[in-house]
Structure 1
Amino acid sequence: MSPVDHPWEPIPVSEVARFFAGLDAPWWIGGGHAVELAVGRAFREHGDVDVGVLRRDHLTVRRLLSGWDCWAADPAGSLRPWPVDETLPARVHDIWVREATGGPWRLQLMLDESDGDDWVYRRAPGIRRPLDTVVVRDAGPPRLASEIQLLYKAKHRRPKDDADFAHLAPLLTGEQRSWLAAALTEELGDHPWLEKLPPR
């Protein structure tokens, strides 16, 4: 069986938070779990759990995961082992992680770009913002800011992405709505979500 065909058994978000609490670098919960943390309740099933970090910190993260089996995902769809202390090429932004070779996948590590004190959106580098506005730290684990998470979900809209938008968009502040609308327009030009983002 190819590694990509191995099943997923995601680690619960609470366990992810306990593990990554020892990381000396910014990290956050992303994907659908970040949406549910922002909404305040679970409302759909999840096939994996996403953990975001900055590319500049990826070797630090790999050392934290030194006892785990980590595989770099090529954008073409293949997986290859990621040894400790190997600097990943810029095209790799997605890593699959499991406890042991042959076991189920447990979490997905996502690499975000940065430039000095700015976070940079890898799909459209003109979209950027101060790093200290990217991660929300409230009552739960750190999570990706809602408007950024929706931007990531917008390009390849699936039913679950539309469901996440429907739950999360009403909770956005006027500033968040404006930022998301501008970012969607810059990256995609036109998007069905734009008509649902009038200022509050």
Structure 2
Amino acid sequence: MTIPDQEAWNAWQPDVLAQRLSDIHLPWCVVGGWALDLWHGAQTREHDDLEFTILREDFDRFRQAFGDLEFYTAHAGVVEKLPANQRAPSGIMQFWGYDRAAERWRIDMMIEPGTPEWWAYKRDPAFKRPRAEMVMRTADGIPFLNPSAVLLFKARDRRPKDQRDFDGALPKLPVIERAWLKDCLDVLHPGNEWARML
């Protein structure tokens, strides 16, 4: 089967995602650049996709909520169709949802290694905090990842958009979150420029 154009993104907005998931009472949250904009309370830049995380054991329930989408695995630069009756393969952490009618990708659903009570950093699950501290909500209830954790993900590669996101978040980041992020960076990415700025 032909894989859809990987650049054909027209992602939903976070409020559309939240509406689609309004009947699901399981852990999930918006991550990436959109999480920072939900924290800011306004969109600060364009977003190519809409990333959110779930727990692996909840994959089937979330997939059911997007019955109008086809799902594809995205792993190591390869996108492959995930058959409708197949569960999330172990070791695969990222799934794209494709709207066949619109011929556009809508969501980027990621597996995170935490539990309902604990958030864990995907790249090193030894770094964890209570989910209640790490998942925040907008005034209208959209869950999003704590900006300090979003920046931890962005610190490794620091693309131009990541640097802009960091520069925009730094003045607003609470002291306790700055300290946590700096501690993580000092262990995971020694010498990282952001750690010096924190």
- Normalised TM-score (structure 2): 0.90
Counterpart of 2:170? Answer: 169
Asked if structure 2 preserves the Cα contact closer than 8 Å seen for 1:66 and 1:84, the reply is no
Residue in structure 1 matched with residue 119 of structure 2 by the alignment? 119
Match of 1:99? 99
Q: Deviations over 1:15-71 (max 9, x none)?
A: 112111122311111111111111222221111111221223222211222331111
Compute the RMSD of aligned alpha carbons. 1.9
How far apart are the structure 2 equivalents of 1:133 and 1:57? Answer: 21
Q: 1:3, 1:79 within 8 Å by CA — same for their partners in 2?
A: no
Amino acid at match of 1:86: Q
| 1:80 alignment partner in structure 2 | 80
**Residue in structure 1 matched with residue 48 of structure 2 by the alignment:** 47
Provide the TM-score with structure 1 as the length reference.
0.89
- Structure 1 residue runs of 4 or more that deviate by more than 6 Å after TM superposition: none
Contiguous gaps of at least 5 residues in structure 2: none
Deviation of 1:91 (Å): 2.3
Q: Which letter maps to 2:121?
A: Y
The residue number in structure 2 matching 1:28 is 29
Distance 1:59 1:43 in 2: 33
Is 1:19 the counterpart of 2:25? The answer is no
Unaligned runs of 5+ in 1: none
* Percent identity between the two aligned chains: 29
Separation in 2 of the partners of 1:12 and 1:46? 9
